[in-house]
Amino acid sequence: MKHPNKAVVMGTNYYIGLAIVRNLGRNGVHVVSVNHSGKNMYGKSKYVKENLIGPDFKVDPKGYLNFLIDYAKKQDHKPVLYPTADPYAEFMDNYFYELKEYYLFPMHKKGLLTDLMDKYKLMDFTEKYGVKTPELIYSKEENLIERVIDEIGFPCILKPLDSSSFVDQYREKAFTILNEDMLREKVEICHKDNMEVFVQRIIPGPETNCYCYDAYMNQDGKIVQYTTAHKIRQWPNFFGASTYTTQKWLPRVHEMSKPFLEAIGFRGFVEIELKEDEDTGVIYLIEVNVRFINFTELLCQVGLETPYLTYREMCGETIEEKAIDYDTNIRWRYLYEDIAAIKNYKRTGKLSAEEIRAQNNDPTVVRTVGSTWAVDDPIPGIVFAFNAIVKRIKRYLRIK
């Protein structure tokens, strides 16, 4: 049997998990999904061989841990474990030693995943290795208002330490703060909700100044496969997740990111998000993603199969060196949220209809990869489209 180890994917009710499942399944890996609910907006991929329903890891983390361990104990070979969102990566970090006994995953030491997700602890790494990050101030610092005025200025953004909880609570990834009164109001709301937040300087420049460095780091701590990407649109606008992204080779991003990642001792797939200041040309590190990303399907299509690379190395293979250090002219689009992004760009005047058409009709693009639809695995795309239509009809009827 070529792939005796199973792959256990935590969370497949979102398109990130779907991309992981498809990449592994297309390579002949036995894929197991673990969710806490049978309700799935994306339907079941044909590549999922076992669909498990376990405890909600946010409500009962110990129960979820025991569920995973009990499953692994029944297998002939250690399964490979995959996080599809920050809370899953944090869960793996919290129960690092317990999970390492029964599962395979790249990270070799406890704590690094959580430290890199923490914006304050991340600064310890960036300062040590000379990488620039936008200035930030913790919301509970003394003289917050005065410090923001003196050190950051308006407009600025109010961002969470825990992005997942913030989005669940407010349906936004960050608050744009225009003045003192708004800062006081939003900070008070967040503190009332026990939300840990900080104020950060906005790096001037459009979405197209946002870049990504995507790499696989082997067990020796060396980057063996990598490429770069260029954001075109995102939702929410300016501080959200990619909705339309192209693979594009950006040498400056590679030269800045590679030594930093190798210095901090990461293992496995990692992504750095960056933004170039349109006034100074300085590139700032915005955040480090320690789990698989929303355009995983794009990476797989250009030849950087990050889920399968993880599986191969965890099962004992040596990963060959490979650089996508050229433009493939392949793009990725999450149509559902991209429609909302486009509407808001036009509403706020940040992009005109002509500019959006030019982005969409770029003659250099050879193909665009979707987040959900796939000819070889159509059910998730059909189910998602049906649910999206029903949701829109319900919203229309409520308005009426």
Q: 82 with 10: CB under 8 angstroms?
A: yes
Cβ burial, residue 261 (10 Å; 0-12/13-18/19+): buried
Q: What's the token pair of residue 149?
A: 């005025």
pLDDT at site 40:
79
pLDDT at site 118:
86
What is each CA distance from 45 to 20, 50, 367, 394, in whole angstroms? 11, 11, 23, 26
pLDDT at site 381:
93
**pLDDT digit of tens for each residue in the chain (400 aa)?**
689 999 999 999 899 999 999 999 999 999 999 999 877 778 789 999 999 999 999 999 999 999 999 999 999 999 999 999 999 999 999 999 999 999 999 999 999 999 999 888 898 999 999 999 999 899 998 899 999 999 999 999 998 887 778 888 887 888 999 999 999 999 999 999 999 999 999 999 988 999 999 999 999 999 999 999 999 999 988 878 899 999 999 999 999 999 999 999 999 999 999 999 999 999 999 999 999 999 999 999 999 999 999 999 999 999 999 999 999 999 999 999 999 999 999 999 999 999 999 999 999 999 999 999 999 999 999 999 998 888 888 877 776 5
pTM over 0.85: yes
Could you read off the pLDDT of 106-144 as tens digits, one per residue? Answer: 999 999 999 999 888 898 999 999 999 999 899 998 899
Q: What's the token pair of residue 358?
A: 């030019």
pLDDT at site 37:
83
pLDDT at site 144:
93
pLDDT at site 400:
54
Cβ burial, residue 285 (10 Å; 0-12/13-18/19+): buried
pLDDT at site 116:
94
Could you read off the pLDDT of 305-339 as tens digits, one per residue? Answer: 999 999 999 999 999 999 999 999 999 999 999 99
pLDDT at site 162:
76
